[in-house]
Every structure is written in structure tokens, then in C-alpha cells.
Amino acid sequence: MRSLDAWLERLLALHPTAIDLGLERVGAVWRELGAPRPAPIVITVGGTNGKGSTVAFLDAMLRAAGHRVGRYTSPHVLRYNERVAIDGVPVDDATLIAAFERVEAARGGTSLTYFEFGTLAAFTVLAEAGLDVAVLEVGMGGRLDAVNLIDADAAILTTVDLDHQAFLGPDRDAIGREKAPIFRTGRPAIIGELDPPASVLEYASAIGARSVRRGIDFDVGVSEARPAWAFLEPDGELIELPMPERLPAPVQLINAASAIAALRALGDRLAVSEEAMAEGVRHAGVPGRLQRIGERPETVADVGHNPQAARALAVWLAQQGARRCEAVFAVLADKDVAGIVAPLAGLVGRWHVAGLTDESPRGVDAGVTADRVRAASPAAEVLEYADVATALAAARDRDDGALVLVFGSFHTVAAAMRALGASAG
């Protein structure tokens, strides 16, 4: 019997490429497994940003309402087990290993990517857990993502913006065309953006999905009981809600509202009281989303790795007042460094740029990223370090009230958390 780490190393070698979008191979193995459905009711969450947080809000609200909930997310921050959880608890190694063994037996000679193999394993774990509802996060895109094997009872599209263009297309319209196929005919399709690409609306209309749009069918409302907020119903009625305690970015209110819109759209099939919504919103959490991982100086980590995520980070940073920000920044090779740096240029006092070659095959050394940062923000002070741990130590080596912000990739956040001994809880 292999250990979980040995299994994960094996999965990395099973397919010639890390990303190979398509449902033919993974679908054949899924059917060989008996086409396991994760739960009687499934909610799928796709989008460029906000997927993991939206899953966390759904999971927390449903559990607060007394439902037995399973969730599948990716990627993980520190441990693979984070990807599959039952009632908020990551499954243990033995459960994952048993699921991997079943997938291995079913696949025969079919080659699967690391993500495809893990997704099928997650489906088997969830299907055998006696769940009321499963919440699934799409990995990349939607149309050809392995999660899209499951016909969701409701699907949420959080945002559509530029990321993974080599796989999904050059612009928002093309990317929307890849993401919208998580919607299903006659079923709720929650659209979290005020101005979604035309391709998303056209797809939803063409298949006869029940579009539920932010700004038309729901929205984030203003509550008189500050600092609370409200979910705004189409008739103008408000559901008063607390601020998320563990997800502090302003954009998280939109993610929470999209999650609530999905629950409302499912109606009596999935009863969740307003009290359970409030409790879930207050306590929902997910690793690496403006997570405080250190004190003196305050150190916050965020997995944001594209321009849209950087814009959301900029809004949060602006709310922190005049505090100087030391940024620890490292990205993968395919990321739009200029697009990430631009919204943060006036908010970051110094860039501590780290290499990621030790963390991922797609990582680049610090010099490459630093040159891109300098080109995007010529006036910035940019320092280079071999790895994240060294960059983080330098950024924290002062006691002047600065905020240290670590971001750019899941790998960046994981390296920083390991360096400080922080947990993903």
C-alpha cells in the first residue's frame, strides 16, 4: 500500500501534460466507476476568482442549517486532504488512498491528469459519505473540466476575467464561453457579475437555464445595522447579515450573496433559514484568503494571482489606511505580472520578489519576475530573493508598523505558511 505522498507523486507521472482539458478520457473512467454522483443535490461553482470562498460560504451555511455537506475544492494550500471535506473536516489519508485505488483499478490503460484522477477519487469519497448536498469547485474553465461531468442542480459563475488564456481564450467573451457550460437546462444559473460577458448570457439563454443575475435578481444591500450588510431580494426586501469574520475582503460580500442566491433558487429542495445563513456567513473560512499568518509585523497571505484578484486586493489595502505595505510576491510563469502590479503600484512600499522554481515546475526565478515588476512600476523599489522564505524574512525584518502582504500564487502562500509555521485552519 502506497502512502498518500507516494500516490500523489505517482499521479504527477501518469499523464504527459499537467493540463489536458476534455471529458472523453475522464468520463470513460467515471462511467467505469459506476458514474458516482457526489450527493443527491449538487451545487457547482465556477469562475475566474472567488470560487473557493463561495464554496466555503455554501458549505458553512448548509452545515449551519443541519445538512450533511461534502465539498471538493482545488488546489490545496498545505495538504492535499484540504481538497475533500465532509461536514467541514478534511478526509484522512486512508480514505483518499482507498479512493485512489478504486480509480486506478477502473482506469485500465486510460491516462488521467493529476486533477482528473483526484476529481474522480473525490466523487467516490463524497458519493459514499451519505451526504445531503455536495459543493464542487471547478478546476479550470468549465466546459471541459472534469467537475462538469456532474449535472449540477444549481451552478454559480462568480466572475469572468483574464487568466489561463492559453487554455480558455484571449478575452472575457471567449473565457465566458468556456465557463458558462457548467449551467444546465431548466436549472438555476447564478451569475455573480454585474456585467458578465455576452457569451455567458447567450449560453444560458440558448440552453434554457434559469438565469439568476446579480443586479437584477439579487444584490449586495446596505444594512442600517453597520458594520453588517444585507442580501437584497428582487422585491427590495433585505436579509440582514453579519460581516464575514474570516474572509475580510470587500469582494467577499458578493461571493456570499451569490451563494445565498443559489440557496434561494433551490427553494424547498434545500431549506436554509436566515439564521443559518447568518451563522454560515459569519464563520465561513478558507485558507489563504487574506489569512493572517503572522504578527509583529502583521503578515497576511492571499492566493490572488491574476489582475482581477489584484484589484480586489487593492480595495482591501486602501481600507487599511496609511500603513506602509511590504509585498512578498512570487508568481508562476504564465501570469500577467504587469496586470497584477498595476492596481497595487501606489499601495505597496517595497516589493520583495521571490523565485518559485523550488515550489513548482511552472515557477520562475526571482530575476524574471522582478524585471517584470520594474517594467510595470518603474518607480518601485524591487528586491530579489531566491525563495519565498528568504523574501518573507527580509520583509518582516523591521518593526515599523508595516503590513506584510504575501501573494501571487497558492505556492507562494504555502511556502510562507510553512516558513512561519502557520496552519491552513
pLDDT per residue as tens, the chain (425 positions) = 689 999 999 999 999 888 999 999 999 999 999 999 999 999 999 999 999 999 999 999 999 999 999 999 999 999 999 999 999 999 999 999 999 999 999 999 999 999 999 999 999 999 999 999 999 999 999 999 999 999 999 999 999 998 989 999 999 999 999 999 999 999 999 999 999 999 999 999 999 999 999 999 999 998 777 778 999 998 889 999 999 999 999 999 999 999 999 999 999 999 999 999 999 999 999 999 999 999 999 999 999 999 999 999 999 999 998 788 999 999 999 999 999 999 999 899 999 999 999 999 899 999 999 999 999 999 999 999 999 999 999 999 976 788 999 999 999 999 999 999 988 76
Instruction: Please list, residue by residue across 196-232, b when 16 or more beta carbons sit within 10 angstroms of its beta carbon and e when fewer do.
Output: bbebbbebbeeeebbbbbbeebbbbbebeeeeebbbb
Q: How many H helices and E strands in the chain?
A: 15, 17
Question: Within 13 Å of residue 384, how many CA atoms lie on the same side as its CB?
Answer: 13
Q: What CATH topology corresponds to 4-283?
A: UDP-N-acetylmuramoyl-L-alanine:D-glutamate ligase (3.40.1190)
pLDDT of residue 323: 83
Contact 28, 36 (CB under 8 A): no
pLDDT of residue 222: 82
Q: Name the residue among 80, 82, 42 with its Cα closest to residue 58.
A: 42
CATH number of the structural domain 291-420:
3.90.190.20
pLDDT of residue 423: 85
- How much is the pTM? 0.96
The owner of cell 510553512 is 418
**291-420 and 4-283 share a CATH fold:** no
pLDDT of residue 322: 74
What three-state secondary structure class fits 157? strand
Kind of pairing between the strands at 219-222 and 229-232: antiparallel
- Eight-state DSSP code of residue 218: B
Position 35: which residue type? Answer: A
- Eight-state DSSP code of residue 388: H
The ranges assigned to domains in the chain are: 4-283, 291-420
Contact 129, 92 (CB under 8 A): no
pLDDT of residue 70: 98
pLDDT of residue 1: 60
Grid coordinates belonging to 288: 489563504
Q: Name the residue among 366, 347, 350, 368 with its Cα closest to residue 358.
A: 366
